[in-house]
Amino acid sequence: MPNARAANAVRLEFAPGALVHANLSGAAFSGDWLWVVGDEACGVDRLRRLDPVGSETFRFGEGCDFPLKDLLDLPGADDDEADLEGMAVSDGWLWVVGSHGLKRKNAKEDRDHTENAKRLSKTSLDGNRRLLACLPIETDASGQPCLVREAKDGRRALRLKGDAMSNELTRALADDPHFGPYMAIPGKDNGLDIEGLAVDGSRLLLGLRGPVLRGWSALVEIAVETRGDQLRLVPLEEDGPLMRKHFLQLEGLGVRDLHFSGDDLYILAGPTMVLDGEIRIFKWAGAKPLLATNREAARFEAALTESVSLPHGRGINRAEALCKLPPGLVPGKPGWLVLYDAPGADRKDGEYTVFGDLVRHD
C-alpha cells in the first residue's frame, strides 16, 4: 500500500485506463459513492468509499466508467471532448454541464514563431462542450448506483435541445447585452466559460468562470422542463424571463464551482484566465430563499463572506471541484471535498491515483 499523506488527504484510486482520472473538474455524492468528471473526457466515473490508508481521512476506489455516448445522443461526435465542468445530484438525477465555450490553440516549444502565431490565431468548438444533461441514477442488483439511459421507473437521460453548434442556452446568451459579446471569445481568454452548476428542483444556477465584467462575476439562472425526449428552457415563472443574471463580488475571481448547503450557496472561485492565483471559497448566506422570491432580471450581490482560502501551485493544483460531504460521514464541522485540475507530483501516486482535500467550514 502506498505511503499515507496528510490527515486531510482524500485518496481517489481510478482503474487503469479510466476515462476520468487526473484533471478533475466536477464532483457529487450519492451516499458513500462519489461521481467525478474531468475536463478532458466525455464520461463520468463512479468511485466507492473504501477503508482509508494510514492517517488519511478518506479513500475512494473501485472505479467504474459511464461514457456519455452510451447514455445520450450527443450533440457532437462520440469521441469529442465534452469539457464537463459542473455536476450536481438532485432527486435521483445526476446533472452535468459542459463549458459551452470556444477553445484556442496554444503555442508549443517545438514550433517556430510563424507556426505558433498561426496556432494562437485558431479557435474551435468541440460540439459536446455545448451539453447540459440530466442522467437517471438507478441502483443495480448488487446495490450499486448506476447511470442509465432509461430507468425502470420510466425516467430517461435527457439533454437540452440543440446541436453541435448551439443550443437553447447559447441562443439566449447570444442575445444578452452582457454575455453576447463574449460568445466568440475562447473561455480561457475571459470569454464564455461555464464551470459551476447548482440545482434546485427545475431551476439551475450556472456559474461563469468568464466573462468577469469590471470585477463582477456572474451566475445565470434558468429553468428547464421535459418535452418529449429533450430538455427545454422555460420561463422562470409565468410570464417571466428565460434567464436571470446574478452578479457577484468575488474580488475579480471567476466561478469554478457551486454547491448549495441548506439555504446557503458556496462558490469556489479562482482566476478567470490561465493564471496562478488565489483560489477561495465564498459563502452567499440565504441565497436559496432569495433566489426563489427574486424577480429582478439582473441583481448585484456584494455581501458575500470568504469561508476558506485554498493552496495552489505554479501551473498545477488548481482547485476545480467542490462538493459537500454527506451528513454523518465525518464528525464535527461540516466538510467539503475539493478536487484539483493539473495535479502536481504532491497530489499523485502513480498515473491513476490522485489526492483531493477535506476542507472544514462553518
CATH number at residue 217: 2.120.10
With cut-offs at 50, 70 and 90, classify the pLDDT of residue 3. Answer: very low
pLDDT greater at residue 219 or residue 332: 219
State the pLDDT at residue 316: 81
Is 198 contained in some domain?
yes
Residue 331 has pLDDT above 70, yes or no: no
| Enclosing domain of residue 343 | 9-360
For residue 4, being part of any structural domain is answered with: no
Mean pLDDT within 53-64 = 86
Please indicate, yes or no, if residue 308 is contained in any of the structural domains: yes
Residue 57 predicted with pLDDT over 90:
no
Phi, psi of 91 (to 5 degrees): 50, 45
Q: Is the pLDDT of residue 5 over 60?
A: no
| pLDDT higher than 50, residue 267 | yes
Residue 41, all three cell numbers: 473526457
Q: Rounded CA gap, 284 and 269, in Å?
A: 13
How much is the mean pLDDT over the chain?
Answer: 91
Mean pLDDT of 121-129: 92
C-alpha 171/C-alpha 132 separation (Å) is 14
Q: How confident is the model at residue 272 (pLDDT cuts 50, 70, 90)?
A: confident
247 in a structural domain: yes
pLDDT, tens only, 162-208: 999 999 999 999 999 999 999 999 998 999 999 999 999 999 999 99
Average pLDDT over residues 310-333: 80
Do the Cβ atoms of 94 and 66 come closer than 8 Å? no
| Res. 351 pLDDT band, cuts 50 70 90 | confident
Angle among Cα 49, 54, 60 to the nearest 5 degrees reads 15
Query: Is position 89 within any domain?
Result: yes
CA distance 71 to 302: 40
Q: Averaged over 104-128, what is the pLDDT?
A: 94
How many domains in the chain?
1
Question: What pLDDT does residue 343 have?
Answer: 84
Q: What pLDDT is attached to residue 156?
A: 97
Has residue 59 got a pLDDT over 50? yes
pLDDT reading at 98 higher than 70? yes
Distance (Å, rounded) from C-alpha 296 to C-alpha 311? 36
Residue 2 in any domain: the answer is no
Q: Is residue 131 scored above 80 in pLDDT? A: yes
Better-predicted residue by pLDDT, 331 or 286: 286
Return the percentage of the chain with pLDDT > 70, whole number.
Answer: 96
How much is the pLDDT for 1? 38
Under 8 Å between Cβ of 256 and 269: yes
1 in a structural domain: no
- Look at residues 234, 200, 238 and name the one whose alpha carbon lies nearest to residue 219: 200
Answer whether residue 146 is part of any domain. Answer: yes
pLDDT of residue 346: 85
pLDDT at 318: 86
Q: pTM of the predicted model, to two decimals?
A: 0.94
